[in-house]
């Protein structure tokens, strides 16, 4: 993953950040916060003027993360992930609750659960999901093990809102999984 910091914020993104700030400031449970943030994010997806042209640029080597906003108190951050065809993450989980929404194209996801074994733990595939433009999903750890990828033939852009300061942490990933997969 390559990471860039935005040169500027659009008026539409500033409005979305203000809406998210009000929800996060309520101090609700992580799963409820993710649900409410997802409701706020959905109407903005696919809208012109949400991202600057620079915030929609990919990287031919790996998916690209553009940090759009990091709240000064560390309570949340908003990033755009730009995926060129075939680009993917490792299998991972997260440091906090997360909401994702597809702004352009399609984002595919394979979800897993950790299964203890007699000899060693394994990952078991639980679901394959394809989210198209305008679709939103959210989750809160534990139980958020997944891999995300662009399986379509065009660029995909997704917005991710994390309940952590990704600009300070450098990533939203808590743990990478290299266990065998059933």
pLDDT, tens digit (0-9, with 9 covering 90-100), for 61-93: 999 999 999 999 999 999 999 999 999 999 998
What pLDDT shows up at residue 37? 97
Q: Residue 112's beta-bridge partner residues? A: 125, 145
Residue 2 pLDDT grade (very low, low, confident, very high; cuts 50, 70, 90)? low
Is the per-residue pLDDT at 3 higher than 70?
no
pLDDT at 84: 96
Question: Contact, 17 vs 78, CB < 8 A?
Answer: yes
Instruction: Name the pairing type of β-strands 98-104 and 92-94.
Output: unpaired
pLDDT attached to residue 143: 76
- Mean pLDDT, residues 50-62: 95
Instruction: Report the share of the chain in percent with pLDDT over 70.
Output: 96
- Global pTM value: 0.89
Q: What totals of helices (H) and strands (E) does the chain contain, helices first?
A: 3, 11
Q: Across residues 17-32, what is the average pLDDT?
A: 95
Residue 175 has pLDDT above 90, yes or no: no
* pLDDT of the residue at 173: 76
User: Residue 1: which pLDDT band, with cuts at 50, 70 and 90?
Assistant: low
Q: What confidence tens digit (pLDDT) does each residue in 120-159 have? A: 888 999 999 999 999 999 888 877 899 999 988 999 999 9
CA dihedral 48, 153, 93, 32 (to 10 degrees): 40
């Amino acid at each position: 993953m390559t990471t860039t910091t935005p040169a500027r914020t659009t008026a539409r993104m500033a409005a979305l950040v203000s809406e998210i700030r009000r929800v996060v400031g309520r101090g609700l449970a992580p799963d409820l916060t993710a649900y409410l943030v997802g409701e706020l994010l959905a109407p903005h997806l696919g809208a012109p003027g949400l991202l600057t042209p620079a915030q929609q640029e990919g990287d031919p080597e790996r998916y690209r993360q553009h940090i759009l906003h990091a709240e000064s108190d560390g309570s949340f951050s908003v990033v755009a992930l730009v995926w060129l065809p075939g680009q993917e993450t490792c299998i991972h989980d997260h440091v906090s609750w997360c909401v994702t929404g597809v702004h352009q194209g399609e984002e595919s996801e394979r979800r897993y659960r950790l299964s203890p074994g007699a000899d060693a733990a394994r990952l078991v595939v639980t679901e394959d999901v394809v989210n198209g433009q305008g679709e939103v999903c959210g989750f809160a750890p534990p139980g958020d093990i997944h891999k995300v990828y662009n399986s379509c033939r065009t660029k995909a852009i997704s917005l991710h809102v994390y309940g952590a300061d990704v600009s300070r942490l450098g990533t939203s990933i808590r743990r990478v999984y290299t266990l065998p997969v059933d």
